[in-house]
Amino acid sequence: MNFFYCKKCVMPSTKPNFNSLNKICNACNFHIEKNKGKKKIDWVGRKKEFLNLIKSIKKKKSPFFDAVVGVSGGKDSIAQVHHLIQQKLRVLAINVDYGFKTEIGVKNLNLIPKMGANLITFRPNLKIHKRILKISFEKYGDPDLMSHCLLHAFPIRTAIQFKIPLVFLGENSALEYSGDKNINNKSMSHQWFLNYAANGNLTPKNFSKKFLIDYSFMKNYDLPNKKELFKINAVFSSYYFKWSSEVNLKIAKKYGFNSLKTNSEGTYRNYHGIDEKINRIHQYLKFLKFGYGRATDHACEDLRNGKINRDKAIKLVLKYDRVKITKYFYKDFIDFIGINEKSFFGILRKFTNNKIINKVKKNEFN
């Protein structure tokens, strides 16, 4: 196992889709290129492109709505809605709710209709979703395995059904966190879905086959075929607007976005991943499997943006990444999938990569 930390940020090489050059991760390389290097992004040009896109969408005079945004009620989704309502588009926001929302998450979600968008909450078939969650957690150590697919696919399928021409997605994680070289990638594709929503070959179709779940009950989790997908424009908002947690937070706050009073468990920020509980299990498992958690993600972002230095980033990672998960985040989940606490922690242990965790414990970031 070739374990090392990026020389610029604090991301370990065990991160999935981690690519590097001379021990500098591609996310850092990309960050430099797009801000100062040869591939410096012309944000004024991108804004023009956005305005042209809006014009073309308005021209389509779609029957009900102009755009779909998948929303959690988090600051990023509120910022996405903001960019569209400012252009006077008729927005349909779609929230996928499996029943694990936090109180603050519900409060923030309720801001969306008040902003001037329409909101529908989609509650997936919980008989099916419960099976999916249980299998994903027990066999793959990731309760969110198929949920990421559903969050991306369902709004796109809805847009096609209602003849809504635009789907305004969040950040392109391939570019922002994995340093995908193609910075002009602005649309959702099957390849992107395979790599960054699904887990490689474990598409919803393959999952349904493998675990004998009728695929017609899982179609909502899957992207439509290419021909269908091309009927709409599913684009990443981070292509048009510089992706920044801080900027999005500022926008969201204008609409009354609520943060926690203290930091959110597993990181030092108080406004990130606060809308539902299962994500905390996903993030904690990420730490046990790959040696980095939510605090690392946030410290890397702050480091790249020059808000903190590397020493400070290391301190934050050491303090927050390894914080043990508390009952508040797993109790509803284990009750729902029908396992006890002992089995829950047994599964966490099963997926812990001790080799990585032992290295992480040595605190050697060089």
Interface mask toward Zn ion for 331-360; x: CB under 5 A = ------------------------------
Which of 6, 96, 197, 234 touches Zn ion by CB under 5 A? 6
The stretch among 5-13, 33-41, 232-240, 242-250 that binds Zn ion (CB under 5 A) is: 5-13
Q: Which residue, chain included where needed, has tokens 């602005």? A: 186
Q: Of 25 and 85, which has the nearer Cβ to Zn ion?
A: 25
Instruction: Give me the half-sphere count of Cα atoms (radius 13 Å) on the Cβ side of residue 23.
Output: 10
Among 12, 15, 28, 167, binds Zn ion (CB under 5 A): 28
Please state the closest distance from residue 191 (CB atom) to Zn ion, in A.
24
Q: Angle of helix 294-304 relative to helix 310-320, nearest 10 degrees? A: 170
DSSP 3-state of 236: strand
CA angle 98, 116, 62 (to 5 degrees): 85
Q: Is position 317 an interface residue for Zn ion (rule: CB under 5 A)?
A: no
Residue environment code for 286-309, b if the CB has 16+ CB neighbours within 10 A, otherwise e: bbbbbbbbbbbbbbbbbbbeeebe
Which of 5, 10, 16 minimizes the C-alpha distance to 194? Answer: 16
Q: How far is the CB of 287 from Zn ion (least distance, A)?
A: 18
Whichever of 9 and 119 has its CB closer to Zn ion, that residue is 9
- Provide the CB-side half-sphere exposure for 9 (13 A, CA): 31
Piece in contact with Zn ion (CB under 5 A), picked from 28-36, 137-145, 179-187, 307-315: 28-36
| Strands 91-96 vs 20-21: parallel, antiparallel or unpaired | unpaired
Helix, strand and coil percent figures for the chain, each rounded to 5: 50, 10, 40
Closest to Zn ion by CB, 88 or 312: 312
Task: Report if residue 313 touches Zn ion, rule: CB under 5 A.
Answer: no
Question: Which stretch in 22-30, 159-167, 229-237, 318-326 sits in contact with Zn ion by CB under 5 A?
Answer: 22-30
Q: Is 25 in the site for Zn ion (CB under 5 A)?
A: yes
Binding site for Zn ion (CB under 5 A): 6, 8-9, 25, 28
